[in-house]
């Protein structure tokens, strides 16, 4: 199924939650993704790396229904979601964060969490004002505690550092208990002191059952987090397998550092 080389040291036995099968995405004359393939299984942390412009963010946008695919197929739990709208995909159990953290600065940290609940009404403000069940509140506070933001729950989110905003975004994606969470560069722009906190939160949340697919530039972070790694280059699979092995491959080093 894949064009990339497989390193068969990792046994992947369960059914995939997410399947990206030969996905191509062209923007006019630019082919951002060219037959990219990827699988994420229940309970895994899967990494996606590749040089700038490799197609990583485009891959997430194709998975989330932001872009219409030029070719190929995306499946969530075996169901074809390739032509679905983003909100339908989110409600089916896929959640994501963005390369740049996104918060409502004037709302409190807790309110930013609660905004992630399924919108009963069209308008965000109505979602906030509508009575949340105690269960949702409790889950929001529990997740904030998990990522170490519980003391800041009543502070405006605008006062958080970049790293704290990213932690808030990660916690927010989990409020609806998704099947899988896509994280686009969780460490980018984050103060080095907080990168370890973010990595630890991801590991803790994974221990509790969360499944992650993570794009990351920080090689130490991706090495310590992911159990399976895909390398994209020029929109296609270059290598895949156990991170330690994959990152030593000649082709990967060449893609990153040129000849
Ligand atoms: P990465 O996230 O790996 O750095 P991207 O997915 O952002 O890479 O981009 C892959 C390629 O596709 C780049 O050459 C980029 O310029 C191009 N690209 C991405 N999005 C668009 C778009 N909306 N329109 C035109 N070209 C795009
Ligand atoms: Mg990107």
- The domain segmentation of the chain, as residue ranges, is 5-100+177-257
Q: What is the pLDDT of residue 258?
A: 73
Please give the distance, rounded to the nearest whole angstrom, from the Cα atom of residue 132 to the centre of ligand 2: 35
pLDDT per residue rounded down to tens, the chain (259 residues): 444 555 555 667 778 999 999 999 999 999 999 999 999 999 999 999 999 999 999 999 999 999 999 999 999 999 999 989 999 999 999 999 999 999 999 999 999 999 877 654 455 556 555 656 788 888 999 999 989 999 999 999 999 999 999 999 999 999 888 999 999 999 998 888 889 999 999 999 999 899 999 999 888 899 999 999 999 999 999 999 999 999 999 998 898 877 4
> The pTM is what?
0.88
Of all protein residues, the one whose alpha carbon is nearest to atom 18 of ligand 1 is 32
DSSP string, 17-65: EEEEEEEEEEETTEEEEEEEEEEEETT-EEEEE-STTSSHHHHHHHHTT
Please give the distance, rounded to the nearest whole angstrom, from the Cα atom of residue 129 to the centre of ligand 1: 38
Provide CB contacts within 8 A for 194, sequence distance 6+: 161, 163, 164, 167
Please give the distance, rounded to the nearest whole angstrom, from the Cα atom of residue 3 to the centre of ligand 1: 21
Using a 6 Å CB cutoff, which residues line ligand 1? 27, 30, 32, 50, 52-58
CATH of domain 5-100+177-257: 3.40.50.300
């Amino acid at each position: 199924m894949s064009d990339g080389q497989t390193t068969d040291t990792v046994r992947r036995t369960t059914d995939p939650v997410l399947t990206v099968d030969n996905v191509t995405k062209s923007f006019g004359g630019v082919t951002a993704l060219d037959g990219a393939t990827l699988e994420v299984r229940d309970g895994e942390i899967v990494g996606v790396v590749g040089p700038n412009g490799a197609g990583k963010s485009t891959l997430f946008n194709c998975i989330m229904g932001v872009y219409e695919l030029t070719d190929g197929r995306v499946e969530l739990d075996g169901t074809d979601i390739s032509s679905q709208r983003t909100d339908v995909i989110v409600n089916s159990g896929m959640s994501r964060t963005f390369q740049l953290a996104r918060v409502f600065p004037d709302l409190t940290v807790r309110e930013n969490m609660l905004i992630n609940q399924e919108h009963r009404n069209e308008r965000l403000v109505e979602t906030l004002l509508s009575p949340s069940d105690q269960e949702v509140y409790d889950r929001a506070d529990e997740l904030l505690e998990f990522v170490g933001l519980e003391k800041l729950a009543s502070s405006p989110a605008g006062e958080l550092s970049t790293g704290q905003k990213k932690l808030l975004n990660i916690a927010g994606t989990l409020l609806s208990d998704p099947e899988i969470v896509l994280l686009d560069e969780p460490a980018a722009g984050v103060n080095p002191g907080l990168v370890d906190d973010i990595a630890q939160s991801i590991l803790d949340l994974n221990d509790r059952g969360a499944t992650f697919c993570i794009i990351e530039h920080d090689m130490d972070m991706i090495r310590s987090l992911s159990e399976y790694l895909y390398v994209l280059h020029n929109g296609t699979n270059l290598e895949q397998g156990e991170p330690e092995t994959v990152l030593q491959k000649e082709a990967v080093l060449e893609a990153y550092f040129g000849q």
